[in-house]
Amino acid sequence: MAIHATVKSRISAEPEAKVDDWSRVLKRLRAELGETAFRSWFQEIRLERIEDGEGVVSLPTRFLRNWVATHYADKLIAAWRAENPAVRRVTIIVALHAAPPARQGSAAPAAPVPAAPIPIAEIGDDRAQLSAPLDPRFTFANFVVGKPNELANAAARRVAETFSAPLHSVPFNPLFLYGGVGLGKTHLMHAIAWYVRTHAPQRKVIYLSAEKFMYQFIRALRYRSTMDFKEQFRSVDLLMIDDVQFISGKDSTQEEFFHTFNALVDQNRQIVISADKSPSDLAGLEERMRSRLGWGLVADLHPTTYELRLGILHAKAEASGVKVPDKVLEFLAHKISSNVRELEGALNRIIAHTQLVGRVITLESAHELLHDLLRAHERHVTIDEIQKKVAEHFNIKMAEMTSARRARIVARPRQVAMYLAKQLTPRSLPEIGRKFGGRDHTTVMHACKKIEELTVADRALGEDVELLRRMLLS
Residues that bind ligand ADP (CB under 6 A): 138, 142-144, 149, 179, 181-187, 312, 340-341, 344
Indicate which of ligand ADP, Mg ion, none lies near residue 55 (CB less than 5 to 8 Å, by partner kind).
none
Minimum CB distance to ligand ADP smaller for 42 or for 143? 143
Q: How far is CA 350 from CA 63, 310, 341, 345, 362, in A?
A: 12, 15, 14, 9, 10
* Min dist. Cβ of residue 177 to ligand ADP (A): 8
For Mg ion, the binding residues (CB under 5 A) are 185-186
Shortest Å distance, C-beta 89 to ligand ADP? 26
Q: From the CB of 144, what's the least distance to ligand ADP, in Å? A: 4
Distance CA 187, CA 168 (A): 23
CA distances from 99 to 60, 67, 146, 308 (A): 10, 21, 43, 39
Between 61 and 70, CB nearer to ligand ADP: 70
Residue 340 binds which entry of ligand ADP, Mg ion, none, CB below 5-8 Å type-dependent: ligand ADP
Contacted entry of Mg ion, ligand ADP, none for residue 183, CB cut-off 5 to 8 Å set by kind: ligand ADP
Q: Which is nearer to Mg ion, 185 or 439 (CB)?
A: 185
> Within 13 Å, how many C-alpha atoms sit on residue 167's CB side?
0
Cα(223)–Cα(289) distance, integer angstroms: 27
Q: Choosing among ligand ADP, Mg ion, none, which partner's interface includes residue 143 (Cβ < 5 to 8 Å by kind)?
A: ligand ADP
Least Å distance, CB 243 to Mg ion, is: 6
First to last CA, the chain: 46
Tell me the residue nearest to ligand ADP as measured from the CB. Answer: 184
- CA 108/CA 97 separation, integer angstroms: 7
Cis peptide upstream of residue 109 (ω within 30 degrees of 0): no
Q: Is 201 left (phi over 0), alpha (psi -120 to 50) or beta?
A: alpha
Which does residue 144 bind out of Mg ion, ligand ADP, none, counting CB within 5 to 8 angstroms by kind? ligand ADP
Minimum Å gap between C-beta 110 and Mg ion is: 37
| Residue number with CB closer to Mg ion (184 or 296) | 184
Evaluated on CA atoms 314, 320, 325, 329, the torsion sign reads negative
> Which of Mg ion, ligand ADP, none lies near 441, with the C-beta cut-off 5 to 8 A by kind?
none
Question: In whole angstroms, what is the distance from residue 435 CA to residue 417 CA?
Answer: 11
| Closest distance of CB 119 from ligand ADP, Å | 23
- Which DSSP category does 355 fall into? H
Nearer to ligand ADP, 142 or 382 (CB): 142
